[in-house]
Chain A
Amino acid sequence: MSRFFATGSDSESEESSSADEITPKATGTTFNKNKEAFTPNLILCCPLRFRFEELTNIIKTIRNAMKIRDMSKCLEEFEQLYRAFLKSKTIVDKEGVPQFYIRLLADLEDYLNQLWEDKEGKKKMNKNNAKALSTLRQKIRKYNKDFETEIASYKEVLNSSTNVISLCRCQDEESESDDDEDSEDWGSDSVDSGGESEDNEGAAASLAVVFLKKAQDGDKQHEPKKDGRRKRHKKIEQVEEEVDEDGEAEEGGWEKVKGGVPLVKEKPKMFAKGTEINSAVVIKKLTEILQARGKKGTDRAAQIELLHALSGISNENNLGQGILVKIKFNIIASLYDYNTNLAAFMKPEMWKKCLECIDELLDILFENNNIFIGENIAEDSENLAISDQPFRVRGCILTLVERMDEEFTKIMQNTDPHSQEYVDNLKDEGRVCGIIDRLLQYLESKGSTEEVCRIYLRRIMHTYYKFDYKAHRRSLGLQGETKSEQDQEESEGEDSAIIMDRLCKFIYAKDRTDRIRTCAILCHIYHHALHSRWYQARDLMLMSHLQDNIQHADPPVQILYNRTMVQLGICAFRQGMIKDAHNALLDIQSSGRAKELLGQGLLMRNMQERNAEQEKIEKRRQVPFHMHINLELLECVYLVSAMLLEIPYMAAHEFDARRRMISKQFHHQLRVGERQPLLGPPESMREHVVAASKAMKMGDWRTCHSFIINEKMNSKVWDLFPETQCVREMLVRKIQEESLRTYLFTYSSVYDSISMETLSEMFELELPTVHSIISKMIINEELMASLDQPTQTVVMHRTEPTSLQNMALQLAEKLGGLVENNERVFDLKQGVYGGYFNRDQKGGYQQKQNYQRGGYRNQNQSSY
């Protein structure tokens, strides 16, 4: 309605509503009149609709431009309209000038005249607009001369409708009306309802009009269509012809038409009825479809549909497996093509279809041994049809499956990991694995070693991160009987360890690309580590020498390497090799970017450093959620191992000025803990570890134990291990031992002698263990003491320097530094580098110092 305001016609809202009222009235008449002509021919009405839609679109923009008084835009659009109208000349000739067109012309002229008269407004206009206004006015005056009669009649109707309106309101929808009007009215109405759907009141009726319009249209175009049939051409070609007739002789009419036509209508026109469908025709069709691939206007969804239909047809007509394989290849390829954006992921239905297709393809390949596929078979040497020779089809199933795998990863990356949807998607993993397995079998018999390597790697990638529960259970023994049937079935399969071993060894032997081997090694190590085969994992890691050159690898491999290192560290921890665990985790943990390094999420603080493009790339690298390594577990393992190493070390080197930190991160946590003004009971994992460290510093292993192993920590961390119990026992043991060491370091100065029995009671360790720990400390010169065998006591030697002596030593060291610095200044002054003392002498100076210190100690010892 509003557009009537803009036209500036003097009639008020009454009038505009009348324009709406015309619709139902008119439809009623046409409906009745053309009832008998209702023979739907859906295709043929399309060019007309297409044309008219174009026109109405332009008209709409013109009206908008009128509303905002944008004359230059108006002019531009008017010229376009003019051209579009010329294009649809044929239709117009048949149908007569559509009412809406006339209406626009009339309105536009009125509007322009009005503007022209408005001198004030014209002055306000800017130059461009004023110029456009004058040209447009001239043009429309000239142009409208051709439509004089129509416009006049329109205006008449407009005036009369103001009178009619009251009548219209009360009239029934099906009531008859003047016959002379309706033949012209239908066009405007139907297009209005289709394009703008403004007519709410008469919605139902106008729907009917759309139908009717088509019907009528079909009626009128009946003849040409018959001609087409007679020619026994494919229908599609006929459409093309028609489009050509319409003056649209640009490029690939085929696609253009499809764009406008709803999908449902495609199917019947695949082949003309009665065409003898043989392989040649189908291949031709296939190439025809494929040529459209990748072009701009191509509807990709429609293309997939077409290919599906084609495969159906070829199947029906038994055209042989070769063609079917070829078509399947192309369907899958176009499924992948569907998303032009690399970051976007497949829709679920597409994904399902893709899986099905690949499955079917594999079925065919398995059933028919005489099909050769390969990417190096040239297009023209393909043999698709002749069934007595082996089929040769171009295409690479391996690439398709690899792509499928990538798509799967992409889907998983893009699903919210905490939703049910993720679980549903993850269920497809089984199918993906199944497909990979089948392809693996296929390629084992047919493919080259390179291909086998590639598919093996895919298989490995889907295996390495999964914990093999059945093998684990089997290794624990005897539970097999109580298991349910399903479990038994499961356990019949090969152990994943054996599979991994077989696949990886094949790759080690046969692979020629470094990348696949590297990945395989890493996965192998990961798998070993996951299943607590520490020594195999470690040896493999050391033998591979990956640590030396991993920084040259591409980021995904580096991420894999990081994951492997972390898994290795966690494995070492489970085995009680605290030092190894710490070393393996140090690099990852110390950077503070564990999340990023493991590909498990992006860090926020890096946001400003990278642009959107980089972020996209990084997002694509992320590991799907189900493969994640628990970061809290990682951190906890790291901190606990750091604690077990650091606390005794700190106690031993309390006064050492040159004490270095074993773990910076651990110290950081300790400092954070110290900074707390009020220390409550620990809440988070870190606080637990810090509290435990404090207890351990005092040699209080019980408190330490209770902080490390309790309900909270169990649920947060320890229960995530497969062998929880073992790990916990190991931990308790370690805590006892290290607490004992810490205790001895810290408090040895207050004892003259201490009974080992007391110690073993204090730390609940067996006497031999205590004995061995203390002996080790004595051997390493960490503890100045000797063991008194008969009384089972440790006798302290008291050789540790007093605090004053320590201080003096520190001072001496500092002074040494000062002297050195001073010398440097002196050197500079003298202009001789290394003068005064040269390097050797300097070393000698320090050596002497060391010697003196040692002498001091020796002296003291000898005095006892």
Chain B
Amino acid sequence: MASRKEAPSGKSLDSPVRQIQIEGLVRPHHQALQGSEVVQGVLLGLVVEDRLEITNCFPFPQHTEDDADFDEVQYQMEMMRSLRHVNIDHLHVGWYQSTFYGSFVSRALLDSQFSYQHAIEESVVLIYDPIKTAQGSLCLKAYRLTPKLMEICREKDFSADGLKKASVGYENMFEEVPIVIKNSHLINVLLWELEDKSTAADKHELLNLSSSTHLEKSLQMLMDRVDEMSQDIVKYNNYCRSLSKQQQQKHQYIQRRQQENAQRQSRGEPPLPEEDLSKMFKPPQPPPRMDTLLIASQLSTYCQTIKEFTSQNLGKLFMAEALQGTSSYS
């Protein structure tokens, strides 16, 4: 378990932060983590060269609708001041959010990450999947918005053309920042000790094919997103069609006008006055494309998780088969 450190990938990222180092102490500790409720919190730490070290965190309080006048900013400031008093890093370096079966790509996330990144350039969002972690595989990912997306968000140009011009696809909306987990020596010692103590039965858990419910859930959500995607596409399709129809009308109109003017000219009459074409043919409202992009991105994350899950399971199956084979032969 000590080998949980992930090797920094060689991929060069053009952001000021190339690597994130997380102290083992940093664990989002919420009671509500098991539920499907989304919890959020603040990450604290500091930037060392091109490495972002996250050394502490605290959650946003779960406040119900009863105390609507709760001031979150006030709370954060208070919290950071208190932490500063006990000599803990108090620099705001990002935020974290829990996720439910890997569904986190949403408009809200985009917006808040944008505002974070806008204010604090090096901030990241840490996505943590408590359910998957409980099943034995730590799921902790750090994301940042790509500079291109930042650009678009800054200009708030979510039209199809704008996105096309910026060449932002679902693949390059977010960039994942590699994470390194660094534990203190004491913790490492504890982990070693725990590993020694754990029984063989616990280790065999490794081969447990986690129930298909996970897969079902993922499929379910994947399906929902696909539905949304379909709807969006239909909407876009309609838009395109109406746009082209209007273009045709406009074209016809202009042609007719030209013909008429030519006739008039031949008769020596003054040409018809120019009319405001944009008023006559109001272009239809283009559907926002950002949502579609987000959905696509979400779909790809789902696919990623499902792929991971299935490949793991397949590996386990082969392992199990091999084990069975040896046992039956022996």
Contact = CB atoms under 8 A, between A and B. Distances in A.
A807 interface: yes
A802 B229 CA distance: 26
Interface residues of A, number: 17
B138 interface: no
Interface stretch (A183-191, A405-413, A821-829): A821-829
Contact of B230 (A802, A808, A810, A818): A818
Given A814-B227, A814-B230, A804 B215 contact: yes
Interface string A802-823: 1110011011001101100110
B306 to A, nearest CB: 10
Contacts of B237: 821, 824-825, 828
B216 A818 contact: no
Interface string B62-73: 000000000000
B258 interface: no
A807 B227 contact: no
Contact of B216 (A804, A817, A822, A828): A804
A811 B216 CA distance: 11
B226 interface: yes
Contacts of B219: 804, 807-808, 811
Contacts of B223: 807, 810-811, 814
Contacts of A815: 226
A5 B223 CA distance: 92
Interface string B205-234: 000000010011001101100110110011
B229 A825 contact: no
A818 B244 contact: no
Counting contact residues on chain B (CB < 8 A from A), the size range is 10 to 19
B154 to A, nearest CB: 28
Contact of B241 (A814, A818, A821, A828): A828
B240 A818 contact: no
A821 B228 CA distance: 12
A788 to B, nearest CB: 31
A772 B212 CA distance: 38
A818 B222 contact: no
Contact of B240 (A803, A814, A817, A825): A825
B309 interface: no
**Contact residues of B: prevailing secondary structure:** helix
A821 B230 contact: yes
Nearest to B227: A814
Contacts of B222: 811
B223 to A, nearest CB: 5
B236 interface: yes
B313 to A, nearest CB: 12
Interface string A771-808: 00000000000000000000000000000001110011
Contacts of A828: 237, 240-241, 244
Contacts of A814: 223, 226-227, 230
A803 B216 contact: yes
A800 to B, nearest CB: 16
Contacts of A807: 216, 219-220, 223
Contacts of B215: 804
Interface in B233-250: 233-234, 236-237, 240-241, 244
A815 B215 CA distance: 17
Contacts of A825: 233, 236-237, 240
Nearest to B229: A818
Interface in A150-185: none
A534 B83 CA distance: 88
Contacts of B236: 825
A836 to B, nearest CB: 14
Interface string B188-216: 00000000000000000000000010011
Given A804-B212, A824-B237, A825-B233, A818 B226 contact: yes
A119 to B, nearest CB: 67
**Contact residues of A: prevailing secondary structure:** helix
Nearest to B213: A804
Nearest to B232: A821
A815 B223 CA distance: 8
A818 B229 CA distance: 7
A808 B244 CA distance: 37
A813 to B, nearest CB: 10
Contacts of A822: 233
Contacts of B220: 807
B244 A817 contact: no
B132 to A, nearest CB: 18
B240 to A, nearest CB: 5
A721 B236 CA distance: 57
Given A811-B222, A814-B227, A815-B226, A821 B234 contact: yes
Contacts of A811: 219, 222-223, 226
A808 B215 CA distance: 10
A804 B222 CA distance: 13
Most buried by B among A802, A804, A818: A818
Nearest to B231: A821
Nearest to A811: B223
A121 to B, nearest CB: 64
A222 B234 CA distance: 101
Contacts of A824: 237
Contacts of A803: 216
Interface in A121-135: none
Nearest to A817: B230
Contacts of B240: 825, 828-829
A832 to B, nearest CB: 13
A843 to B, nearest CB: 20
A45 B215 CA distance: 109
Interface string A822-842: 101100110000000000000
Nearest to A822: B233
Given A811-B223, A825-B240, A828-B240, A818 B233 contact: yes
A810 B226 CA distance: 11
A653 B240 CA distance: 37
A585 B222 CA distance: 41
B230 to A, nearest CB: 5
A808 B220 CA distance: 9
A804 B241 CA distance: 38
B226 A821 contact: no
Nearest to A802: B212
A115 to B, nearest CB: 67
Nearest to A814: B226
Nearest to A810: B223
Interface in A512-567: none
A284 B234 CA distance: 84
Interface string B165-187: 00000000000000000000000
Contacts of B233: 818, 821-822, 825
A818 B231 CA distance: 9
A818 B299 CA distance: 13
B101 to A, nearest CB: 14
Interface string A283-300: 000000000000000000
Most buried by B among A811, A821, A822: A821
A671 to B, nearest CB: 21
Contacts of A810: 223
A767 B244 CA distance: 67
A801 to B, nearest CB: 13
Interface in B276-330: none
A810 B216 CA distance: 12
A810 B224 CA distance: 11
16 contacts: A804-B216, A804-B219, A810-B223, A811-B219, A811-B223, A811-B226, A814-B230, A818-B229, A818-B230, A821-B237, A822-B233, A824-B237, A825-B233, A825-B236, A828-B237, A828-B240
Interface of A: 802-804, 807-808, 810-811, 814-815, 817-818, 821-822, 824-825, 828-829
Given A818-B229, A818-B230, A825-B240, 5 more contacts: A804-B216, A811-B223, A818-B233, A825-B236, A828-B244
Which 3 A-B pairs have CB atoms at the shortest separation, nearest pair first?
A821-B233, A807-B219, A814-B226
